[in-house]
């Protein structure tokens, strides 16, 4: 990129003019010669907790949005660099969902936008100056649809998850009582589901009440884990639904 392919060509014919300031040029050279690495994951605190990353390995959000993505796009850097930057972008989604969603939508990153949407409160919860991060009416409307889809999907997923699915793992001694407890817990939760509701975490509270029976406790843990896994699948369905 910075060297002439043919030393015999006319002087200056293959020169590349760069208009970046010194700091921007330094960042560009760093991207080329020392490409960014994915952030380092920290050990999970629980199966229901969010994935955590070593903050010293995460590229700050302002730097990502104001400089690095622009350089990648302008100089058409290899996809591997862009893909790693997208991972860093998603790390900021839990803390800055509006900013990440807005940026991802503006730059046609559908998957990243849908993932960021799961961390947003209902749109009525935000001030006007906060939602200005969303680039336009269409993006706002798509976000409302994403949130509506997610609430309905969480609702349906919870109703569809039984503690003894098709009788599997059934406890003959406490079957009716355990089923009733599971149904009571999820019916109480159904009316409170919002876009950021941790359905698995809410249902996990029931496992402590079933510790006296190993069979019922095991079945409850399995059912809650299924709910925990499903929440990570939802953004994929949302992205396809747009």
pTM of the model: 0.76
Identify the helix (H) or strand (E) that includes residue 73. Answer: helix 69-74
Buried residues in 59-91 as b, exposed as e (16+ CB within 10 A):
bebeebbebbbebbeeeebeeebeebbbbbbbb
Separation between Cα atoms, residue 110 and residue 208, nearest integer Å: 39
Residues 6+ apart with CB under 8 A from 182: 162, 163, 206, 220, 223
Tens-digit pLDDT profile for the chain (242 aa)? 444 445 544 555 555 566 666 667 777 777 778 888 999 999 877 666 678 899 999 999 988 887 888 888 887 776 888 899 999 999 999 999 999 999 999 988 988 998 898 899 999 999 999 999 999 999 999 899 888 888 998 999 999 999 999 899 999 999 999 999 999 999 999 989 998 899 999 999 999 999 999 999 999 999 999 898 776 666 554 544 44
Asked if 68 and 23 count as a contact pair (C-beta separation under 8 A), the reply is no
DSSP string, 141-205: HHHHHHHHHHHHHHHHHHHH--SSGGGTT--TTTHHHHHHHHHHHHHHHHTT--TT--HHHHHGG
- Residue spans of the domains in the chain: they are 22-148, 150-238
């Amino acid at each position: 990129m910075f060297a002439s392919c043919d030393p015999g060509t006319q002087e200056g014919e293959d020169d590349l003019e760069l208009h970046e300031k010194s700091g921007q040029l330094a960042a560009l050279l760093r991207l080329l010669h020392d490409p960014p690495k994915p952030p380092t994951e920290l050990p999970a605190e629980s199966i229901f907790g969010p994935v955590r990353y070593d903050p010293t390995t995460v590229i700050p959000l302002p730097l990502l949005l104001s400089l690095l993505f622009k350089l990648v796009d302008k100089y058409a850097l290899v996809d591997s660099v862009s893909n790693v930057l997208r991972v860093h972008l998603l790390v900021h989604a839990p803390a800055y969902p509006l900013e990440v969603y807005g940026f991802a939508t503006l730059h046609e990153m559908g998957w990243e936008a849908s993932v960021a949407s799961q961390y947003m409160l209902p749109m009525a919860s935000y001030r006007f100056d906060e939602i200005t991060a969303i680039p336009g009416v269409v993006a706002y409307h798509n976000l409302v649809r994403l949130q509506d889809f997610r609430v309905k999907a969480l609702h349906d997923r919870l109703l569809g998850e039984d503690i003894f699915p098709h009788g599997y793992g059934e406890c003959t001694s406490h079957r009716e009582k355990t089923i009733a407890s599971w149904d009571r817990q999820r019916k109480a939760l159904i009316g409170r589901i919002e876009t950021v509701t941790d359905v698995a975490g809410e249902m996990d509270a029931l496992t402590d009440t079933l510790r006296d029976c190993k069979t019922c406790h095991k079945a409850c843990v399995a059912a809650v884990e299924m709910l925990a896994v499903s929440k990570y699948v939802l953004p994929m369905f949302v992205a396809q639904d747009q």
